Amino acid sequence: MTLTAPTSSDYEAEANRLRAQIGATVEDLRFSLRPANLASEAATRAGIADLSWGGAFDFAGKRHPVPTAIIGLGIALWTLAALRRRKADGLATFTPPLRETSASLVESATRVLRDRAELKRREFVNAAQAQITTGAARFSDEVERRLENVIDRVPGGPEVRPLIEAAIQIALSAALEGLFLKRTAG
């Protein structure tokens, strides 16, 4: 049984496959991090995805009666305080507390969405780093194996092996440095 070593086209195909996989992961993350999808996911996990407002309050009252009662009491006190401060135009006093409350809710939701996006970003970066590390290790192993095959064919025996290895390492370092300089300059 003959084992054939992977060729550069095999590595290129593997790199293209990994690029496609990373692209698909990015698209999945973009879709998952849309506010509508996050809200839908939260509602589904809470078990209230298909409930109306009345159904949601009924569900909350049955499942969590004490917190629901505290929230109801807070809304009632807020309304009572707004009514007491009412001036001649009536609804004008409702807008500042309502504006403050909605700003607080928006700020909390924004913070939660940012935290979730940061978590997803970290997951993506960790997955990409794992893929890159695996690919780099495979590439390094293959280069080392092929270089050993070339060095073994050079006449001169074991005495010249360290000299040949050092020369090849210097040449590879110079080539990589040239590639990095081209990328930073371009």
Domain boundaries, the chain: 15-130, 147-186
Give the pLDDT mean for 20-30.
85
pLDDT in the model for residue 151? 76
Percent of the chain beyond pLDDT 70?
A: 79
Give the integer Cα–Cα distance in Å for 25 and 21: 6
Q: Of 98, 117, 124, which Cα lies nearest the Cα of 25?
A: 124
pTM of the model: 0.35
Whether 106 and 98 have beta carbons less than 8 Å apart is answered as no
pLDDT at 65 over 80: yes
- DSSP assignment letter at 127: H
Query: How many Å from the N-terminal Cα to the C-terminal Cα in the chain?
Result: 47
Give the integer Cα–Cα distance in Å for 111 and 117: 10
Question: Position of tokens 């084992």?
Answer: 3
Whether 60 and 46 have beta carbons less than 8 Å apart is answered as no
The per-residue pLDDT for range 125-173, each reduced to its tens digit, is 888 888 888 888 888 788 778 877 777 777 777 778 788 878 888 888 8
pLDDT at 27 over 50: yes
pLDDT band at 88 (very low <50, low <70, confident <90, very high): very low
